[in-house]
Chains A and B, each alone.
Chain A
Amino acid sequence: MNNVLSIIKNQGLTFEQKINSLAKEAENSVSVLNIREKTKEYLENGIICDLFEGNIPFRPRYIVPDYEKFMKNGSRFLELTPPTNIWEATNNLLILYKHVPSITTMPVYIGNIDYLLEPFILDYNESKLAIRLFLKHIDATITDSFCHANIGPLETKAGNIILEVMKELELPTPNLTLKYNNETSNNFSIKAIETALVTAKPSFANEPVFTKDFKGDFGIVSCYNGLKIGGGASTLVRIRFGKLAKEAKSVEDFFERVLPEVTGELLNYIDERCKFLVEESGFFESNFLIKEGLIEKEKFTGLAGVVGIAEAVNYLLNAEEQKDRFGYSQKANKLGLKIVEEFHNLVNQHKSKYAGDFFENKHILHAQVGIDTDRNESPGCRISVGEEPQLLEHIVQSAPFHNYFPSGIGDIFVFDETYKRNPEAILDIIKGGFKENLRYFSLYSSDCDVVRVTGYLVKKSEMNKLEKGEAVLRDTEALGKGARDNGKALERRLRKDSL
């Protein structure tokens, strides 16, 4: 009960953050999962980490509703008829957002908002006001920046207004991704880059790559997870590869003994979490999102997460000098790829009735961006911050990893403010990267207040408030401060001319 009292008395938490923390306390006071002894060992030593999802999976981690269907049909449960103008459209969406659960309790996906609003854009000024209020409402009420909107691939009036308003507001939430393909106009892409150089969003997603992996519609969700529209992810459990590597006596031992064993435990644990959600929680029977066809159980899967590939490789090769380390040496890069490939094969061979038919009953891979308390674990397959090579080498090194992670992987590049005078240069780099099959590309400028920590966005000014002990609106600002202090997340290499 000590925790309960200390949550209640904590002046650094908002009311909403207290309620969520208290709910988590209650959830964690009960144990329902049948966790194997070996898995427990891995959970205790931190090699397997469920990102504090809690003891009882009573809602999927990520939900990706079919908002187009909602706009077309309205909702019986919410007593909403289909919208007829921009005010009804934004209001209907804002209402639904409050009823889309997730692991943080707040929606992690709020739709391809440009396409959703485009039919209602008549007068520019009125539409801009509606969209401004809509986005401000989201930022102030969905108080963590794992909430993600998508735009594109095609340029629309709504898409242009959304970018303009985001550039003016400079708010962390919602996160934003532009689905980019050959049909995305240069005008729209440049506008997106100019916006990102001010407010660290949108990121660019390689639309054809995701479309192929998800056999059609997909959403970019939370940090940068690709997921199926009308579905989502039941859970995400990850392996800390930096820590795992230290269990191995040699590279051979890593592949023959260590990796298969931990992956077996990971998959069993993912299944156990999904099993409770599917068979006992009642979520898929009772929630109105299911009843109204906005999500289907068969479009959900589990996510197997990866962090610390860089540290694992450097440890296994005992690589001290820069030229021998991950990101530089061919040998190190190849070993990194081999680890990911082997892990992918093990996950891919595992069929589970708790992964949906849409995914052929398989769980999929996610390059997790790390959490605030991680140490010595670089996000996903990223090169460690402070060791980044030149931009060209960096992109060419990272591209082959992207193939294995349909549910998200990507680097973040910080550009010098001179790029504001030549945003076309960044578009050329993104186009080149996507030709190399890069899946996702994030950018911001060195002089932004809104910055991308590891996947989500924070305001530097709010983190400074937090440092002084003041309560701040978004929980992600606390996470951002941890990642800044423990993970050097804001010390990425600055990309200037030639760097």
Chain B
Amino acid sequence: MNVIVNKIIKFSNVDGPGNRTAIFLQECNMHCRYCHNPETINICNNCGLCVNTCPTKAISLENNRIAWNKELCIDCDNCVKSCRRYSSPKTVSYSVQELLDEVRKVKPFVRGVTFSGGECSLNYQFITDFFKEIKRNFADFTCFVDTNGLVDFSEGKYADFVKFTDFFMLDIKAYSEEEHIALTKKSNENILKNLEFLMKIISFMK
């Protein structure tokens, strides 16, 4: 199983307490008006529109698939600005082991990993497998997810995901249903339900 990663921030001081590695996954199930990284919303459809905007030829179409050469990239973000579908050609596909190797390089300096996005819970199975490996390899690490909570974590299929996540950073965009819909076009019913569900688990943990 692989996952599409938009970005890995090796040292982050804003994704939970202490120094943490933040992993931003591609794809989101919301489209908030104020989204600060809208290029993470959709998976690239290989349309190729961005190819010619790249001044260093870091992006190309190979066998009708977008390819990104990180070595050539100068991070001007022309490609991202030209994208009409809120996506990015600058993503990398990782297996659990490959992502674990990335985290291993940073290990002495951080106290854990935080998945963000996009909406990371869309890849809950991958994250569950990854967290299991983290717990097996780096016992003192903490595993966080930063989520919009749109899916219902009390459903059975999320049981392991919830079990192996040490902390949820639940982003409640608005408490009022009306305001939430205005901001995100989605109801916050599940989100508030998740809040209660997760709070119960935390008090149970303590």
A426 to B110, CA, bound (A): 10
Contact flags (1/0) for B77-106 with A, using CB distance below 8 Å? 000000000000000000000000000011
Q: Which of B17, B20, B109 contacts A433 (CB 8 A)?
A: B109
Contacts of B130 in A (CB 8 A): none
Contact with A along B9-32 (1 / 0, CB 8 A): 111111001111000000000000
**B10 contacts which chain A residues (CB < 8 A)?**
390, 392, 498
Q: Are B11 and A391 in contact (CB under 8 A)?
A: yes
User: Does A435 make an interface contact (CB < 8 A)?
Assistant: yes
Q: Which of A280-288, A346-354, A417-425, A465-473 sits within the interface? A: A417-425
CB-contact partner of A432 in B9, B17, B20, B109, under 8 A: B109
Q: Flag whether A256 is at the interface (Cβ < 8 A).
A: no
- Which residues on B sit within 8 Å (CB–CB) of A419? 13
Give, as a whole number of angstroms, the nearest-CB distance from A146 to chain B: 31
Q: How far is the CB of B58 from chain A (nearest CB, A)?
A: 15
Asked whether any CB of chain A lies closer than 8 Å to the CB of B186, the reply is: no
Which B-chain residue is minimally distant from A390 (CB atoms)?
A: B10
Give 1 or 0 for each of A335-357: 1 = CB within 8 Å of chain B CB: 00000000000000000000000
A497 contacts the other chain (CB 8 A): yes
Q: Verify B11–A422 contact, CB threshold 8 A.
A: no
How many residues on the B side are at the interface (Cβ–Cβ under 8 A)?
16
Residues of chain B lying within 8 A (CB to CB) of residue A421: 13
Please state if A498 and B12 are interface contacts (CB–CB under 8 Å).
yes
Q: Which residue of A lies closest to B105 (CB)?
A: A392
**Cα separation A421 to B17 with both chains bound (whole Å):** 9
Interchain CA distance A419-B106 in the complex, whole Å: 19
Instruction: Check A422/B108 contact, CB under 8 A, given A497-B13, A498-B9, A498-B12.
Output: no
Q: Does B111 contact A (CB under 8 A)?
A: yes
Is B18 touching A428 in the complex (CB atoms < 8 A)?
Answer: yes
Give the chain B neighbours of A390 by CB distance below 8 A: 10-11
A429 at the interface (CB under 8 A from B): yes
The distance in angstroms between the C-alpha atoms of A390 and B18, with both chains bound, is 18
> Which residue in chain B gives the minimum CB-CB distance to A434?
B108
Query: Which B residues touch A391, using CB under 8 A?
Result: 11
Nearest to B12 among chain A residues (CB) is: A497
Q: Are A432 and B110 in contact (CB under 8 A)?
A: yes
Is residue A427 within 8 Å, beta carbon to beta carbon, of the partner chain?
yes
Q: What is the CB-to-nearest-CB distance from A407 to chain B, in angstroms, rounded to a whole number? A: 26
Is A217 engaged at the interface, CB distance under 8 Å to the other chain?
A: no
Q: How large is the interface on A (under 10, 10 to 19, 20 to 34, 35 or more residues)?
A: 20 to 34
Which residues 225-247 of A have a CB within 8 angstroms of B? none
State A396–B105 Cα separation when bound (angstroms).
10
Given contacts A392-B109, A436-B108, contact A498 B18 (CB under 8 A): no
The proximity string for B residues 102-146 relative to A, scoring 1 for CB distances below 8 Å and 0 otherwise, is 000110111100000000000000000000000000000000000
B41 → chain A closest CB, angstroms: 20
Q: Which residues between 389 and 410 of chain A lie within 8 Å of chain B, taking CB atoms?
A: 390-392, 395
Cβ–Cβ contact A424 & B19, under 8 A:
yes
B14 touches A497 (CB 8 A): yes
Q: How far is the CB of B4 from chain A (nearest CB, A)?
A: 19
Q: Which residue of chain A is the closest to B71 with respect to CB atoms?
A: A323
Which of A424, A425, A436 interacts with B11 by CB under 8 Å?
A425
Q: Are A429 and B19 in contact (CB under 8 A)?
A: yes
Contact residues in A for B108 (Cβ distance below 8 Å): 431-432, 435-436
In this complex, which of A390, A426, A428 has the most chain B Cβ atoms within 10 angstroms of its Cβ? A428
Q: Which residues of B contact A424 (CB under 8 A)?
A: 17-19
Cα distance, A2 to B177, chains bound together (Å): 82
Contact across chains for A425 and B19 when beta carbons are under 8 A apart: yes
Cα–Cα distance between A422 and B110 once the two chains are bound (Å): 13
Inter-subunit contact A422/B109 (CB<8 Å) = no
- Among B11, B18, B110, chain A packs the most CB atoms within 10 A around the CB of B11
Do residues A428 and B14 form an inter-chain contact, with CB atoms below 8 A?
A: no
Alpha-carbon separation in the docked complex, A424 to B111 (Å): 10
Distance between A399 CB and nearest chain B CB, rounded to angstroms: 10
Residues of A within 8 A of B18 (CB): 422, 424-425, 427-428
Among B14, B17, B109, chain A packs the most CB atoms within 10 A around the CB of: B109
CB 8 Å contact bits of A477-496 with B (1 = contact, 0 = none): 00000000000000000000
Docked CA distance A424–B110 (Å) = 10
1/0 per residue A368-394: CB within 8 Å of B?
A: 000000000000000000000011100
- Report the nearest B residue to A436, measured CB to CB: B108
Q: A422-B18, A424-B17, A424-B19 are in contact. Are A429 and B109 (CB under 8 A)?
A: yes
Asked whether B13 lies within 8 Å of A422 as measured between CB atoms, the reply is: yes
Closest Cβ of chain B to A31, distance in Å, is: 52
Chain B proximity of A381: nearest CB distance (Å): 21
A492 to B108 Cα, complex, angstroms: 24
CA distance in complex: A418, B11 (Å): 13
Q: Tell whether, in the assembled complex, residue A428 and residue B109 are in contact, meaning their CB atoms are under 8 Å apart.
A: yes
Q: What is the bound-complex CA distance between A424 and B20, given in angstroms?
A: 10
Instruction: Tell me the bound Cα distance from A300 to B19 in angstroms.
Output: 41
* Residues of A contacting B19 in the complex (Cβ-Cβ under 8 angstroms): 424-426, 428-429, 432
In chain A, what residue has the closest Cβ to B110?
A: A428
Across-interface contacts of A422 in B (CB, < 8 A): 13-14, 17-18
Most buried by A among B10, B12, B13, B17: B13
Q: Which residues of B contact A418 (CB under 8 A)?
A: 13-14
30 CB-based A-B contacts, threshold 8 Å: A390-B11, A392-B105, A392-B106, A395-B109, A418-B13, A418-B14, A419-B13, A421-B13, A422-B13, A422-B14, A422-B18, A424-B17, A425-B12, A425-B18, A425-B19, A426-B13, A427-B18, A428-B18, A428-B110, A429-B11, A429-B19, A429-B109, A431-B108, A432-B110, A433-B109, A497-B11, A497-B13, A497-B14, A498-B10, A498-B12
Closest A-B pairs by Cβ, 3 of them? A432-B109, A428-B19, A425-B13
Contacts A425-B20, A428-B109, A429-B109 aside, 5 further interface pairs with beta carbons under 8 A come to: A392-B10, A395-B109, A426-B19, A431-B109, A497-B9
